[in-house]
Structure 1
């Protein structure tokens, strides 16, 4: 793996949460206790009838219904930053195989999973993400992270061969979701009056990572968090919700709204949009273009991937569209659109009785890419954010993981 990728990660070793949850805890260890939850009165009940928008990909691809559905899609991006995607076209067989193999991996004995444990200064492997100090509050979760694209960056040391079909399942899953993602990005371009390649081309040399999350139940669930409130630093995120247990929440108007999964749908999170200097000639056209992130993905759909706009597929450079997951983030878009599209905070809460599993897939441009506001918006309102190197942006994002509310302030002018 390249030095650039390695330098962005690294995590101090901590106790395994799955093993900890299996003991007779009289209380939660202090490092997991979130005192802010004691005054957490801004959570909307799951019985509330307010739900995030639902978008139908088959209607986006249908000439008769595309106009209305594109309008709904644009509104969802502006008002929520999240939506659920129906009829996406990934086969039930591929989804179910990925789910089963992931569940089987987390059922392995701890010592066997540790074979694929994180190494110093590496973002990959089994453990907990981005633990930077001994004082840092910890998340009630374990994870296994893999770099899947570019292929040359794959480190098979971290790819389990038990279950025996695990590697094949991850490979197939990531490729199929990529097709859906690129399709959606192309449709976004169409919605902006652009050729699809205007938005898809910058991702030809992207970095893709897949993060498998295991959130054990906790009898003291009102004291812990599975995922700290944050806005993702990736451009595209997709989360496949593996076992239909609620936990994902998004923040809107100061309230935390639970994302209630629809069977067979992706929960899509509008993530960061990146602008490359090599696209100077396109700046005048891109009035706040964005790329989305799918957040919590759940089952299957009926729209075949082949129905999406065609593109040239190069397995060595083409990104996998897993950040569709389903849910993983939107910080960059705030810089890129000069503040027009806002970063959406989200978090994961813990169920007192049931485990929760999810798969998040992230897509990023090359480490050397430059992020900057779109020129059209700068002309109208003046630049509100600095131009920043992608590598610097990611490093700052990781270092500020537990302080996402003030993260973007570092880039304001």
Structure 2
């Protein structure tokens, strides 16, 4: 049976043509047809496979930020945010104002999409030279190891950039759930932008001005169960090319791990919270003060897992580079060159996921 998620027709609007990715099998359907087998192409090398962290590492937790205090300008919470961005690159936010009903509707809409028959999902397959749609990104070689996940990625903000060719509009409630969730997440994101701006020496609207028309994309991931989760990865180690990312996790299944002090730390879900991580664009603009951290997802034998990642990123044509307020020639000299965002993101999507390798070409070499 041919289970490949085939490429659709060309996307007429080339502004968002960020990169090509080879078609891959649907892992969800592979598992449905043969639960016990793990195809060779999904088995990672020994050094890349998931390892069980020791008790000390497993007990570590990323910082937790009370978003309701942050919005009130609470100085202690702002200091916690600064610490989280510098030392962890990740934090969880609670009391963020997005209603539990909105979160649950979004999770239900994503679950309903992945419950569709393969032939139905393939109607929304990725187009050539496009990252939107159903399938997989970052597959650049027939020889590379594949991730144990399926995904659908949609551009959601600004609304005029939505391409409904990739949206399952016949799925009851899907469009409404995504639009409502997108709007609520945008409110949270704007407050985060404002706080990052102040921490980096700008006024509250500084980053928004520097990044042009702000964009938002949502990646919806499905991780099937795996008979040998010790051999595979749900998503390979990578950092995000975004300004920052907001992740809605499965409340019951831990899958996200982040690299902290050369160890992989599990991010335990807090019900109805959002995980936020620094993206490459912010690392560049903060001149390396705020860290875009490698992270990955693991699988398990017992329960499938869904996660929903919302990426906030600059306008394609905007140039990003270290802010003058983050450069000190004596103590913290410029670490990155300026680059147009579309050039950076196309370089990123031309590679497989391989940790932080894609940021090296923006770094300045030191004599």
Give the TM-score of the pair, scaled to structure 2: 0.89
Structure 2 portions without partners, runs of 5+ = 1-11
Alignment partner of 1:388 out of 339, 348, 352: 339
Aligned equivalents of 1:194, 1:386: Cα separation in 2: 20
Q: Which residue does 1:57 correspond to in 2?
A: 67
- 8 Å contact kept, 1:189–1:196: yes
Residues 65-87 of structure 1: CA deviation (Å, up to 9, x unaligned): x1111111211111111111010
Residues 93-139 of structure 1: CA deviation (Å, up to 9, x unaligned): 21111111111111111111111111222211111122112112111
Q: Which residue does 1:79 correspond to in 2?
A: 87
Q: Which residue does 1:411 correspond to in 2?
A: 362
**Residue range with higher mean Cα deviation, 148-157 or 370-379:** 370-379
Deviation at 1:164, TM superposition (A): 1.7
Q: Which residue does 1:364 correspond to in 2?
A: 313
> Residue 312 of structure 2: SS of its match in structure 1?
strand
Q: How many residues align?
A: 351
- Alignment pair present for 1:214 and 2:164: no
CA, structure 1 residues 188+408, in 2 after alignment: closer, same or farther (shift >3 Å)? closer
Aligned equivalents of 1:247, 1:228: Cα separation in 2: 12
Q: Which residue does 1:286 correspond to in 2?
A: none
Aligned equivalents of 1:38, 1:80: Cα separation in 2: 22
- 8 Å contact kept, 2:247–2:310: yes
Alignment partner of 1:379 out of 325, 329, 336: 329
Deviation at 1:371, TM superposition (A): 1.8
- 8 Å contact kept, 1:45–1:258: no
Q: Which residue does 2:9 correspond to in 1?
A: none
**Residue range with higher mean Cα deviation, 198-207 or 383-392:** 198-207
Alignment partner of 1:102 out of 91, 99, 110: 110
- Alignment pair present for 1:332 and 2:343: no
Aligned equivalents of 1:26, 1:165: Cα separation in 2: 34
Residues 143-170 of structure 1: CA deviation (Å, up to 9, x unaligned): 0111112222211111112322111111
Residues 180-205 of structure 1: CA deviation (Å, up to 9, x unaligned): 11122223334556431112334551
- 8 Å contact kept, 2:194–2:205: yes
Residues 193-228 of structure 1: CA deviation (Å, up to 9, x unaligned): 643111233455122211110000101111111111
- Alignment pair present for 1:14 and 2:24: yes
Report 1:212-291 matches (<5 A). Answer: 212-271=220-279
Aligned equivalents of 1:113, 1:403: Cα separation in 2: 28
Q: Which residue does 1:167 correspond to in 2?
A: 175
CA, structure 1 residues 41+131, in 2 after alignment: closer, same or farther (shift >3 Å)? closer
Deviation at 1:37, TM superposition (A): 4.6
CA, structure 1 residues 263+108, in 2 after alignment: closer, same or farther (shift >3 Å)? same
- Alignment pair present for 1:3 and 2:14: yes
Aligned equivalents of 2:68, 2:227: Cα separation in 1: 42
> Residue 22 of structure 1: SS of its match in structure 2?
helix
Aligned equivalents of 2:49, 2:170: Cα separation in 1: 43
Aligned equivalents of 2:288, 2:208: Cα separation in 1: 22
- 8 Å contact kept, 1:44–1:257: no
> Residue 177 of structure 1: SS of its match in structure 2?
helix
**Residue range with higher mean Cα deviation, 254-263 or 380-389:** 380-389
CA, structure 1 residues 17+353, in 2 after alignment: closer, same or farther (shift >3 Å)? same
Deviation at 1:41, TM superposition (A): 4.8
Deviation at 1:409, TM superposition (A): 2.2
- 8 Å contact kept, 1:230–1:401: no
Alignment partner of 2:194 out of 174, 186, 191: 186
Alignment partner of 2:58 out of 48, 63, 70: 48
**Residue range with higher mean Cα deviation, 142-151 or 369-378:** 369-378
CA, structure 1 residues 81+124, in 2 after alignment: closer, same or farther (shift >3 Å)? same
- 8 Å contact kept, 1:206–1:363: yes
Deviation at 1:24, TM superposition (A): 2.7
Alignment partner of 2:135 out of 127, 143, 148: 127
Aligned equivalents of 2:97, 2:295: Cα separation in 1: 26
> Residue 334 of structure 2: SS of its match in structure 1?
coil
